[in-house]
Structure 1
Amino acid sequence: MEIKGKKAVVFGGASGMGRASAELLAARGAEVAVLDRPESAGAEVAAAFGGSFHPVDVTDFEATEGALDAAVDALGGLHVSITTAGGGTVKRTLGRGGPHDLETFRRVLDLNAVATFNISRLAAAHMSRNEPEDPEDPETTGERGVIITTSSIAAFEGQVGQVAYSAAKAAIAGMCLTMARDLGSLGIRVLAIAPSLFETGATDRIPAETRAALVKGAAFPRRLGRPEEYAKLALAVVDNPMLNGQCLRLDAGQRFGPK
């Protein structure tokens, strides 16, 4: 899909990988709406590239629908949806204090898997109203939209204490092919990106020696990923119509060990 002139929303676009994606989309000529928590820097980030900001808590599923509707109205349509919002916790299935509580497990699933599905289903509805990009050749280039979600390599090699996070990110990875098949007849593609450890506000507080230990299992480069590297892959996904229905690892060849 040609990026220039397209309408895009980025959930989690106030910081990290979402911010980098929003900024790169705008630099490539897309019109971009940033959606993030009310207390985030979303307004400043969006203003810097001439976009709009729409505050939202993605675990408030009804409010998410309203925020997305407002963003699409402001943009005048929707072609690209990128979701990076998410997070996790560290708890073992059975710890010293007893079994992993269900409330925390549900909360992590809501924040990641359920919120991602909610955004994707709503984005697909908006995209389905688009005219195909090339109506003269609908079988090959008649795209209406691209949905990009964020999994994690923890979906495949979850570490000790990541049972809820791994389950949530595995659900996001598992949606890709089925959702792509569901939406293929409409010309809407669906992919997930599964990053390893990336530079975020949380990782900024990790000492240098600890960072080195965390990425020692990577093949190359042995460092944390950079938000702009996620953004570059996201835009490559939008650009290449043959990418569909899969979860793409972005991990420098890293495989998580048990701890």
Structure 2
Amino acid sequence: MGSIRIEGSSAVVTGGASGLGRVTAARLVELGAKVVLLDLPTSPGAQTAKELGERAVFVAGDVRTEQDAERAVAAAVELGPLRVTVNCAGIGRAGRTVAKDGTPYSLDAFRQVVEINLIGTFNVLSRAAAAMAATEAVDGQRGVIVNTASVAAFDGQIGQCAYSASKGGIVGMTLPIARDLAASGIRVLTIAPGLFETPLLGTLPQPALDSLGAQVPFPARLGRPSAYAELVAAIVANDYLNGEVTASMAQSAWRLAEAEAERPAREELASDSVRPRAKRCGSGRLKPLHDGFQRNRAPRRPCPGRKPGHWV
């Protein structure tokens, strides 16, 4: 079985007007693909497509809308067999579940984040998968779908209830969708970036960005969108990757920086409540996450002091 041939194929990249999506689209164009950029009408998508050259096409639309997703996929199919789809569209709206003034987090805001990040991802990938399944297989493969989650799917911080929920959903659906599409020769993978130089972080002052980057073990900087694009290209080229979630090294910086920033709030919460410590029996302690899909437990064994037949 060989890898997907990008040259001469078409691709759909959501959020392709800027950030990770723009650089990924540019990389796919360099590799010979014809790329459809799906982004909002208010985005600089038309200008981006013009800058990328004649092999790039902009389709204005919303990833939450079925018709817009279908239009983007149809535009890609007209350019060539659809082999690659990369979902980069996403937003974040920070806020505590209950604010300090007692106001609950806006349900409309929560719904918007989940609809764009999670439902929008599924909307586009499902329609892209249908188009891929209709193409002729090459060495048993028909296409690759790459979704974008976040380290927040695993280590969500204060104020990230909606964002973490949406990204956690992307992580959770990666493996079952990969299994769904295996018979069609379509691979499905997810990238969970840490801190990257994207428009989502563009509002932070430069000293704050420098501080965050310095906490990455190595290399001590924020991730560059080009690294994400290269990882997408590597995923497409490696035909043995499927159903996996790949997290970036920069997640260490995310954990350290967010933990330090939110320490006063956590101390305040801890002082206002008493958290009972869970009791465990035997050696059935949870081990660290191996990947985004499972937790491994120690072998079960009889629990001392309990009736026969009780296991942990």
When normalised by structure 1's length, the TM-score is: 0.91
Displacement of 1:216: 4.2
In the alignment, what sits opposite 2:59?
54
2:82 to 78, 84, 97: 78
Tell me the C-alpha RMSD between the 2 structures.
1.6
Displacement of 1:253: 5.3
Distance verdict in 2 for CA 1:161–1:252, change over 3 Å? closer
**What is the alpha-carbon distance in structure 2 between the residues aligned to residue 202 and residue 110 of structure 1?**
17
Distance verdict in 2 for CA 1:102–1:204, change over 3 Å? closer
**What is the alpha-carbon distance in structure 2 between the residues aligned to residue 88 and residue 207 of structure 1?**
18
Displacement of 1:219: 1.4
CA contact (8 A) 1:35 1:56 kept: yes
Q: What pairs up with 1:198-237 in 2 under 5 angstroms?
A: 198-237=196-235
In the alignment, what sits opposite 1:90?
94
* Matched-pair identity in %: 45
| Paired residue type of 1:65 | A
1:105 to 81, 87, 110: 110
Displacement of 1:98: 2.3
Whose relative contact order is higher, 1 or 2, with alpha carbons under 8 Å and at least 6 apart? 1
Q: What pairs up with 1:90-169 in 2 under 5 angstroms?
A: 90-95=94-99, 96-134=101-139, 142-169=140-167
CA deviations 1:6-49 (Å, max 9, x no partner) are: 21111111111101111110101111111111121211222232
Displacement of 1:202: 3.9
Q: What pairs up with 1:235-250 in 2 under 5 angstroms?
A: 235-250=233-248
CA contact (8 A) 1:81 1:148 kept: yes
CA contact (8 A) 1:219 1:253 kept: no
In the alignment, what sits opposite 1:33?
36
CA contact (8 A) 2:222 2:250 kept: no
In the alignment, what sits opposite 2:11?
8
Distance verdict in 2 for CA 1:180–1:66, change over 3 Å? closer
2:21 to 15, 18, 25: 18
SS at match of 1:99: coil
CA contact (8 A) 2:28 2:35 kept: yes
- Larger CA Rg, structure 1 vs 2: 2
**What is the alpha-carbon distance in structure 1 between the residues aligned to residue 27 and residue 111 of structure 2?**
33
Displacement of 1:144: 0.3
2:186 to 182, 185, 188: 188
Between 121-130 and 102-111, the greater mean CA deviation after superposition? 102-111
**What is the alpha-carbon distance in structure 2 between the residues aligned to residue 70 and residue 253 of structure 1?**
36
CA contact (8 A) 1:12 1:19 kept: yes
Q: Which runs of 5+ in 2 are unaligned?
A: 263-312
In the alignment, what sits opposite 1:137?
none
**What is the alpha-carbon distance in structure 1 between the residues aligned to residue 219 and residue 77 of structure 2?**
42
**What is the alpha-carbon distance in structure 1 between the residues aligned to residue 66 and residue 204 of structure 2?**
36
Distance verdict in 2 for CA 1:162–1:182, change over 3 Å? same
Displacement of 1:218: 1.9
CA contact (8 A) 1:153 1:251 kept: no
CA contact (8 A) 1:212 1:222 kept: no
Displacement of 1:171: 0.5
